[in-house]
Amino acid sequence: MLHDLDQTLDALLKLELPHLFIPNDVTPITISFETPDQEFINKVTLPAVDFFLYDVRENLELRTGWSAIERQSNGKAYKTRPPARVDCSYLITVWSSESDRSAILNEHRLLGEIMKVLLRYRQIPDAALQGSLKGSDPPIRAFSLHQSNLQSLGEFWQAMGGKPKAALNYTIILPVPIYEPEEVGTWLTVNQQ
C-alpha cells in the first residue's frame, strides 16, 4: 500500500508537470523515495526530487466506530466497517547536479512548482491513483505546508549527515481497509415473498 502511495505521488507530478519529468531535449528530473542521507547523491540520478517518507501514524481524530449493513442483490447482508486512517508524512527536497548559486535558484524554482501542484489538490485526483489506491473510499486527502512531525529540522539534517535544505512537508491521509465484510444474514426482496 505504501508503494502504491509512492507511485501515486510519482504519477501526480508527471501528470501535472510533464515537461519536467518526461524525457525530452533536456535532462528529465528523477523522482526518488530514498533517505536523503550522505549517500543519497550517489544513489540517484541528479537532478532529483526526493519524497522521503519519515512518519507513518494512525490518525486517531478520524477514527470511527460505526459500521454499516450492505444488502447485495443475491439476498445476503454484510456488515462493513470503515477503514483505519493513517497519516503518511513526506519531507520533499530538490537536489541539483550543480553546486553553484544558480543550482540553489533552480532547486527553489522547482520546489515552488511542486508546491503549487500539491497546494492545488486537497484530495489526490483519481487520474493519479495507482494500484490498491484506485477507487479509495473515503478519497485520499492531503495537507501541504503544515507543521512537520519532525521535532527539529536542524537535528534531522544533522542526523542525515548533510547541510540543511529547503523542504516541503506533505501529509497524506490514507484509508487502510483492515476489516473484511462480515456476513450477517439474508434478506428477502419483494419478489421473493
* Continuous segment of H or E residues that includes residue 20: helix 18-21
Query: Do 20 and 47 meet the contact criterion of CB atoms below 8 Å apart?
Result: no
- Grid cell in block for residue 101: 548559486
The total of structural domains in the chain comes to 1
Beta carbons within 8 Å of 153's beta carbon, 6+ residues apart: 164, 167
Per-residue pLDDT of the chain (193 residues; tens, 9 = 90+): 899 999 999 999 999 998 887 766 667 899 999 999 888 888 898 889 999 999 999 988 877 766 666 777 777 777 777 788 899 999 999 998 777 677 888 899 999 999 999 999 999 999 999 999 998 888 899 988 777 777 777 778 778 877 888 899 999 999 988 767 666 777 655 455 4
Q: Which residues of 81-118 are buried (b: 16+ CB within 10 A; e: fewer)?
A: bbbbbbbbbbbbbbbbeeeeeebeebbeebbebbeeeb
Q: Which residues of 63-76 are buried (b: 16+ CB within 10 A; e: fewer)?
A: eeeeeeeeeeeeee
For 158-177, the pLDDT digits (tens) are: 788 778 888 999 999 999 88
State the pairing for strand pair 141-144/168-176. antiparallel
pLDDT of residue 129: 96
For 53-77, the pLDDT digits (tens) are: 999 999 888 777 666 667 777 777 7
pLDDT of residue 56: 95
Domain, as residue range, for 110? 2-192
- Grid cell in block for residue 70: 450492505
Gap between the Cα atoms of 160 and 153, Å rounded: 10
pLDDT of residue 67: 66
pLDDT of residue 81: 73
